[in-house]
């Protein structure tokens, strides 16, 4: 009765936590990572104290957002690993993620800049693991150069997500730059032309 371990009243607590996270994501996306906590409070429709009750530090809030985001990406990667065509799943994931980055701009932007030392190692590792799976499968079917390593993929992914914030960024440019990267990941004599040639050569 006096030990504070009940889980009843937390219904609204958890609801607010979510609202705050959503608001924060939005505000950071709009105004960059230096947006004030006050703005977030306003957008979330709560008092500023409420934010600090849930996330005792701005850091903590940032961390939470990043973890959330990473988890989402991980889920998507896993879904593609489970259902998608191994040959294209990684590229789909890549495209999908960049697409979302456009919407979350500086949030994803933060993702990269762990210079602010958000401790999210675990969440990053989980994502890495899922990407690794996608990569391996693609390599198994010959869709991606076998020597490619996971960190190359995630780095290129992060890079393109950040590029999303460039003023010149647009869907067409996105399509063309991703094409370059995808080509860069594809084995040298891709397939079609060579096969034809090879067949002929075999005779």
Partner DNA sequence: TATGAATGAGAATTCATTCAT
Partner DNA sequence: AATGAATGAATTCTCATTCAT
Sites of contact with DNA (CB under 7 A): 1-6, 8-13, 15-16, 34, 36-38, 46-50, 52-54, 56-59
Considering the complex, what minimum distance in angstroms separates the CB of residue 60 from DNA? 8
CA distances from 22 to 9, 42, 115, 150 (A): 21, 12, 23, 30
Contact 69, 108 (CB under 8 A): yes
Q: Among a second copy, DNA, none, what does residue 149 contact (CB within 5–8 Å per kind)?
A: a second copy
Dig out the tokens for 74 from the structure. Answer: 């991980």
> In degrees, to the nearest 5, what angle opens at C-alpha 65 toward C-alphas 60 and 67?
90
Closest approach, Cβ 83 to a second copy, in A, equals 26
What gap in Å lies between CA 161 and CA 111, rounded to an integer? 9
| Residues of this chain, 135-194, that bind a second copy according to CB under 8 A | 148-149, 151-152, 155-156, 158-160, 162-163, 165-169, 173, 176-177, 179-185, 188-190, 192-194
The contact pattern for a second copy, residues 11-50, with x = CB under 8 A and - = no contact, is: -x---x---------------x-x----------xxx--x
Burial of 203 (0-12, 13-18, 19+ CB in 10 A): exposed
C-beta contacts of 84-90 below 8 A and 24+ residues apart: 86/137, 86/138, 86/140, 86/141, 86/143, 87/138, 87/141, 87/143, 88/143, 89/134, 89/137, 89/138, 90/131, 90/134, 90/135, 90/137, 90/138, 90/143, 90/144, 90/153
Per CB under 8 A, the list member of 2, 82, 83, 202 interacting with a second copy is 2
Nearer to DNA among residue 44 and residue 98 (C-beta): 44
Q: Which does residue 82 bind out of DNA, a second copy, none, counting CB within 5 to 8 angstroms by kind?
A: none
Q: Which of DNA, a second copy, none does residue 102 bind to, with CB < 5 to 8 Å depending on kind?
A: none
We find the least distance from the C-beta atom of residue 84 to a second copy, in angstroms, to be: 21
- What lies within 8 Å, CB to CB, of 187 at 6+ separation is 142, 144, 145, 146
Which residues of this protein are in contact with a second copy, per CB under 8 A? 1-4, 12, 16, 32, 34, 45-47, 50, 106, 109, 112-115, 148-149, 151-152, 155-156, 158-160, 162-163, 165-169, 173, 176-177, 179-185, 188-190, 192-194, 196-201
């Amino acid at each position: 009765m006096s030990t504070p371990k009940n889980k009843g009243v937390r219904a609204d607590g958890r609801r607010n936590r979510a609202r705050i996270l959503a608001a924060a994501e939005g505000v950071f996306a709009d105004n960059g990572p230096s947006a004030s906590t006050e703005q977030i409070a306003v957008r979330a429709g709560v008092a500023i104290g409420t934010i600090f009750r849930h996330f005792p530090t701005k850091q903590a809030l940032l961390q939470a957002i990043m973890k959330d985001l990473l988890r989402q990406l991980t889920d998507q990667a896993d879904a593609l690993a489970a259902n998608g065509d191994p040959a294209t799943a990684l590229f789909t994931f890549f495209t999908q993620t960049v697409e979302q980055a456009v919407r979350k701009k500086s949030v994803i932007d933060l993702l990269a800049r762990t210079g602010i030392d958000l401790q999210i190692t675990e969440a990053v590792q989980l994502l890495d693991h899922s990407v690794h799976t996608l990569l391996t499968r693609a390599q198994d079917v010959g869709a991606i150069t076998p020597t490619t390593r996971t960190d190359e993929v995630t780095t290129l992914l992060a890079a393109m997500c950040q590029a999303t914030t460039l003023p010149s960024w647009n869907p067409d440019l996105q399509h063309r730059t991703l094409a370059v990267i995808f080509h860069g990941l594809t084995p040298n004599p891709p397939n079609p032309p060579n096969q034809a040639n090879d067949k002929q050569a075999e005779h």
